[in-house]
């Protein structure tokens, strides 16, 4: 897929430049060691025709917290970056877009800290997805990084080697996506999404600690509060997940996407009749601001 063309504009350290003409330092600690942090954000065309970045503050606050967790200098203000992001969207005539800010390090082949960091914000077209196609998911042979070895709550570039390995393995085996366990063998998350399962009218999701606690996950929990759907945050095994009525992934890119099967087990509930489907529709209403009032941020 082409992420940019000759006229695409990115935000780079305070200025708007053509992506095709932008340069970076090949001696950056980020390129060599995966020492960078990033965000995945989406904007949507709302029902009134405006462009709205969904949960912009939450994403930029997380970017800052990720950088600080990795001891990266961080001098930006979330509001300033949100404004720059709207300008990137505007300059590229994007409404439904995926937005990718990256905070990266200077040239430094040592492991010493740096005096400054750099930032880029890119965006490309990404339509509202909310796919009807259900996923076939397999248990990965890879586990999520041990939180004692990484700042697992940070969205750090280097962590995504683990995600790439897991996702590639699942696809090579004919599945759509992987599900990873934590270092103790409990269900953790997908390569780029959090997981929920439904059992007897209740939802269950892994607690914070060994996962990236997603902004979409928090939105799902908020929707459940509004809809009076009970949610438990607790550890569970792959065996318990196989006894579920239904399951879904959620994340900024994936939105809310149902599962057809997990390993050898096909879920008994029809997706149309699940809590996940109700949440999928409520999520769509939130991002497009179809519902005003308490359902909208
Ligand atoms: N877990 C991982 C490993 C992810 O990469 C993502 C995507 N950022 C998520 C969960 C979901 O997070 P969010 O809802 O904030 O996009």
Q: What global pTM score does this model have? A: 0.96
Catalytic residue IDs: 155
Domains, the chain, in order of start with CATH, read: 9-125 (3.30.470.10), 135-287 (3.20.10.10)
Distance of CA 214 to the CA centre of its chain: 6
What pLDDT is stored for residue 293 in this prediction?
A: 47
pLDDT at 296 over 60: no
142-192 pLDDT, tens per residue?
A: 999 999 999 999 999 999 999 999 999 999 999 999 999 999 999 999 999
Distance of CA 92 to the CA centre of its chain: 22
For ligand 1, atom 7: residue with the closest CA? 192
17-76 pLDDT, tens per residue?
A: 999 999 999 999 999 999 999 999 999 999 999 999 999 999 999 999 999 999 999 999
Burial class of residue 151, CB neighbours in 10 A (0-12, 13-18, 19+): middle
Distance of CA 6 from the midpoint of ligand 1 (Å): 30
Question: Which residues pair with residue 143 across a beta bridge?
Answer: 181
What pLDDT is stored for residue 292 in this prediction?
A: 59
Pocket test for ligand 1, best of 53, 166, 187, 212 (most atoms within 8 A of CB): 212
Shortest CA distance to 37 belongs to which of 100, 88, 84, 85? 100
Protein residues with CB under 6 Å of any ligand 1 atom: 40, 155, 189, 192-194, 212, 214-217, 251-252
Mean pLDDT score across all residues of the chain: 96
**End-to-end C-alpha distance for the chain, whole angstroms:** 32
Pairing status of strand 231-233 against strand 202-205: parallel
Distance of CA 241 from the midpoint of ligand 1 (Å): 20
DSSP string, 90-145: HHTT-SSEEEEEEEE--B--SS---S--EEEEEEEE------SSPEEEEEEEEEPP
Q: How far apart are CA 235 and CA 181, in angstroms?
A: 10
Distance of CA 225 from the midpoint of ligand 1 (Å): 21
């Amino acid at each position: 897929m082409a992420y940019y063309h000759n006229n695409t504009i990115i935000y780079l350290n305070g200025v708007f430049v053509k992506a095709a003409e932008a340069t970076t330092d090949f001696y950056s600690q980020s390129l060599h060691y995966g020492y960078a942090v990033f965000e995945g954000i989406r904007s949507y065309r709302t029902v009134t025709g405006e462009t709205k970045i969904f949960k912009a503050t939450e994403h930029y606050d997380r970017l800052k917290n990720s950088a600080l967790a990795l001891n990266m200098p961080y001098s930006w203000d979330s509001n300033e970056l949100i404004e720059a992001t709207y300008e990137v969207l505007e300059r590229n005539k994007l409404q439904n877009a995926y937005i990718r800010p990256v905070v990266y390090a200077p040239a430094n082949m040592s492991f010493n800290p740096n005096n400054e960091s750099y930032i880029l914000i890119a965006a490309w077209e990404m339509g509202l997805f909310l796919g009807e196609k259900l996923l076939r998911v397999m248990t990965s042979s890879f586990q999520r990084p041990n939180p004692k070895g990484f700042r697992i709550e940070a969205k750090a570039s280097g962590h995504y080697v683990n995600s790439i390995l897991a996702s590639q393995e699942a696809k090579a085996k004919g599945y759509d996506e992987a599900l990873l366990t934590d270092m103790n063998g409990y269900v953790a998350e997908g390569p780029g999404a959090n997981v929920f399962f439904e059992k007897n009218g209740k939802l269950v999701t892994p607690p914070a600690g060994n996962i990236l606690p997603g902004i979409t996950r928090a939105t799902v929990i908020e929707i459940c509060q509004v809809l009076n759907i009970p949610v438990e945050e607790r550890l569970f095994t792959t065996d318990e997940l196989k006894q579920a009525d239904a399951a879904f992934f959620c994340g900024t890119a994936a939105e809310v996407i149902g599962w057809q099967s997990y390993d050898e087990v096909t879920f008994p509930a029809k997706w149309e009749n699940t809590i996940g489907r109700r949440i999928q529709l409520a999520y769509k209403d939130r991002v497009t601001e179809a519902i005003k009032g308490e359902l909208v941020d």
